Amino acid sequence: MRTPRSLLHIAFGLTLAVPVAGVAQQPQQRLQMEGRLDAIIARSTGVEAGLGVSVPSGIYVRSGLVAGIGAGRHGLEGRTDLFSRFSLDPFRQSRWAPYGGAGISGRYRSKLDGGSRAYLLVFLGVEGPLALGRTSGIVPAFELGLGGGARVGVVLRRGVNARR
């Protein structure tokens, strides 16, 4: 049995008309890496360098994990932070954009510094611009927060194309 030519044309036309997710609509960068330097000021103050990764949890929110290691009053200490960050400018419409976030933090210290404990984490920050004319690169961010003490952080984050 032969298929009429007009049916082949219709079938071909329907395959072209089926909606397909466009490349422009798909996130171009799922993971956002960051490096950071944090001072945690409390009875046992520490300075830690950390590496983190975050993923989109919606248009305005990114969720992630940071692991840090550094020096405290009585030696080596570390921490892990699990957080969500809410950006007030997710599409880079301004050069600098405020954000806020919350999560949980675990600090791992010697018993002389208070031992290992879990803390609630809240922070406010501002993220800077990509270099002029660039669609990707490294962006600076600065944070203030609370979580095991007062926190001050400087962050270098991989910029997301057309997003924060």
- Answer yes or no: pTM beyond 0.75: yes
Task: Let me know if residue 46 belongs to a domain.
Answer: yes
Three-class secondary structure of residue 139 per DSSP: strand
Of 18-27, 56-65, 87-96, which gets the smallest average pLDDT? 18-27
- Residue 132: the pLDDT is 78
Task: Let me know if residue 146 belongs to a domain.
Answer: yes
Query: Residue 4's pLDDT band (boundaries 50, 70, 90)?
Result: low
Average the pLDDT over 27-33 and give the result.
76
For the chain, what is the domain count?
Answer: 1
- Separation between Cα atoms, residue 56 and residue 59, nearest integer Å: 7
Task: Let me know if residue 6 belongs to a domain.
Answer: no
Task: Let me know if residue 99 belongs to a domain.
Answer: yes
Q: Kindly report the backbone phi and psi dihedral angles of residue 91, in degrees, each rounded to the nearest multiple of 5, phi listed first.
A: -110, 15
For residue 155, list its beta bridge partners: 36, 141
- Separation between Cα atoms, residue 125 and residue 65, nearest integer Å: 16
Task: Let me know if residue 141 belongs to a domain.
Answer: yes
Which pLDDT tens digit goes with each residue over 93-136? 899 999 999 999 999 998 888 889 999 999 999 999 988 777 77
Query: Residue 26's pLDDT band (boundaries 50, 70, 90)?
Result: very low
- Residue 156: the pLDDT is 97
Task: Let me know if residue 12 belongs to a domain.
Answer: no
Average the pLDDT over 30-37 and give the result.
94
Task: Let me know if residue 131 belongs to a domain.
Answer: yes
Mean pLDDT, the chain, whole residue set: 86
Cα angle, residue 55 at apex, residues 117 and 96 outer, rounded to 5° = 95
Three-class secondary structure of residue 58 per DSSP: coil
- Separation between Cα atoms, residue 19 and residue 40, nearest integer Å: 51
Query: Residue 2's pLDDT band (boundaries 50, 70, 90)?
Result: low
Q: Which residues span the domain enclosing 119?
A: 27-159
Q: Does position 23 have pLDDT exceeding 50, yes or no?
A: no
CATH number at residue 83: 2.40.160.20
